[in-house]
């Protein structure tokens, strides 16, 4: 099994990358997240998932192990194949997907092309206990563990009323309060709207 491929980027499109590894070109399907991370670079190291079917041997490439791990979780769900999982990872980052699953945010998952209500619900049911949820800084935490300071609760309520999810609002507001503890509620809401 191939764990990763490291070498010169011979060709790169938003959907695929060809890595020249000692004179052999390996083509791998990639997400837009991976494309953005390796775009404008001469060399790359991509982590690989091998999809072996009767009619094809297809490689999927990922910028880091975390993205590959989330991809593997997604394809373990009935009805989610490698192509669908790649589309999901192109629409949302691996951390955003984890957060959506942890927060049971069906609407965010449904915003991905090709994902309906039933598939989104199945993803949440199958994966909410399996994913190792990490925050923006990469620290592992349990879903719903965000503690919002008193000042931020009003801002979170306002953002939820504007249509943002509770989880994403809590996450952004908590980060803003840490960065700028002197902000008023209005300033927190304005800054949150820029980031959400």
Print pLDDT tens along the chain (196 aa): 899 999 999 999 999 999 999 999 999 999 999 999 999 999 999 999 999 888 889 999 999 999 999 999 999 999 899 999 999 999 988 888 988 888 888 888 988 888 999 999 999 999 988 876 554 444 444 444 455 667 788 888 888 888 887 778 888 888 898 888 888 888 999 998 988 8
Q: How far is CA 148 from CA 49, 127, 144, in A?
A: 38, 26, 11
Q: Which fold has domain 150-195?
A: Helicase, Ruva Protein; domain 3 (1.10.8)
Q: Which fold has domain 65-127?
A: DNA polymerase; domain 1 (1.10.150)
Parts of the chain belonging to CATH 1.10.150.20: 65-127
Residue 34: CB atoms within 10 Å: 27
Q: Which fold has domain 4-62?
A: OB fold (Dihydrolipoamide Acetyltransferase, E2P) (2.40.50)
């Amino acid at each position: 099994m191939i764990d990763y491929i490291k070498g010169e980027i011979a060709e790169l499109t938003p959907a695929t990358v060809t890595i020249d590894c000692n004179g052999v070109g390996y083509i791998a399907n990639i997400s837009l997240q991976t494309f953005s991370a390796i775009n404008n670079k001469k060399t790359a190291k991509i982590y690989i998932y091998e999809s072996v079917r009767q009619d094809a041997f297809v490689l999927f490439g990922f910028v880091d192990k975390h993205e590959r791990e989330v991809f593997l979780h997604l394809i373990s769900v009935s009805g989610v194949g490698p192509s669908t999982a790649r589309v999901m990872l192109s629409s949302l980052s691996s951390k955003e997907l984890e957060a959506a699953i942890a927060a049971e945010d069906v609407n965010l998952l449904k915003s991905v092309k090709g994902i309906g209500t039933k598939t989104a619900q199945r993803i949440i049911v199958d994966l909410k206990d399996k994913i190792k949820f990490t925050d923006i800084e990469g620290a592992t935490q349990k879903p719903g563990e965000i503690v919002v300071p008193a000042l931020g609760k009003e801002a979170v309520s306002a953002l939820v009323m504007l249509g943002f999810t509770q989880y994403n609002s809590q996450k952004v507001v908590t980060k803003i309060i840490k960065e700028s503890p002197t902000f008023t509620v209005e300033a927190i809401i304005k800054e949150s709207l820029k980031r959400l």
